[in-house]
A = this chain, B = another copy of it.
Amino acid sequence: MFSNERSVPKVSMLYIALLHYPVINKEGRVVATAIANMDIHDIARTAKTFGVEKFYVINPIEAQRRLAGQIISHWREGYGAAYNPSRKDAFEKVSIKTDLDEVLAEISAMNGCKPQIIVTGANFQGEVLTCVKLKEVLKSNRLPYLLIFGTGSGIAQEVVNQADYRLEPIRGKDGYNHLAVRSAVAVILDRVVEIS
């Protein structure tokens, strides 16, 4: 083994995305949701903590993306950057995109191959990828993986159908598992990422 091979850890490139369209609402209809300020803050910090390559915020509405861009600039280059340097570091991970295809194209361009797509959801049944298995997989190769989290009441079926894997839901006591997406991202990254 050459020494320069040794210096590159054999760990996958893990990307996460927060999807605002297409997702379903409480009635099961496909909608676009609004970007919540707190989602960007919390998930950026979680992504940085668990060494995620990039955190994509996907929203098709231009005004929404502009607003999110202003928030991110404040913490990355504005007053917030000096006020809270650790927040600045977290916000470096954030990238705003119009749709999932744009995210897939960027990850493909950076890695030379399309990412494996893993969708998350609180109600998946049947054949699912366990977190234990995903953790093993992420440690065994250097391929790109994209883990998608839904807003509203979850990721729309058309995106679920497009995915390579559906991740096992976080089980709760007595069948209750209504976690905030911010909390779900933290739990899942803690389960699947090895901190060396």
**Once the chains are docked, how many angstroms separate the CA of A171 from the CA of B50?**
9
- Contacts of A180-196 to chain B: CB distance below 8 A: 180, 182-187, 190-191, 193, 195
**Once the chains are docked, how many angstroms separate the CA of A195 from the CA of B174?**
9
Contact assessment for B45 and A178 in the assembled complex, using a CB-CB cutoff below 8 Å: yes
SS class, residues of chain A in contact with chain B: helix
- Contacts of A1-45 to chain B: CB distance below 8 A: 38, 41-42, 45
In the complex, A79 has a CB within 8 A of chain B: no
In the complex, A51 has a CB within 8 A of chain B: yes
- Complex interface: stretch among A85-93, A133-141, A159-167: A85-93
Contact assessment for A45 and B179 in the assembled complex, using a CB-CB cutoff below 8 Å: yes
Contact assessment for B49 and A176 in the assembled complex, using a CB-CB cutoff below 8 Å: yes
Identify the A interface with B (CB < 8 A): 38, 41-42, 45-46, 48-51, 86-87, 89-90, 170-174, 176-180, 182-187, 190-191, 193, 195
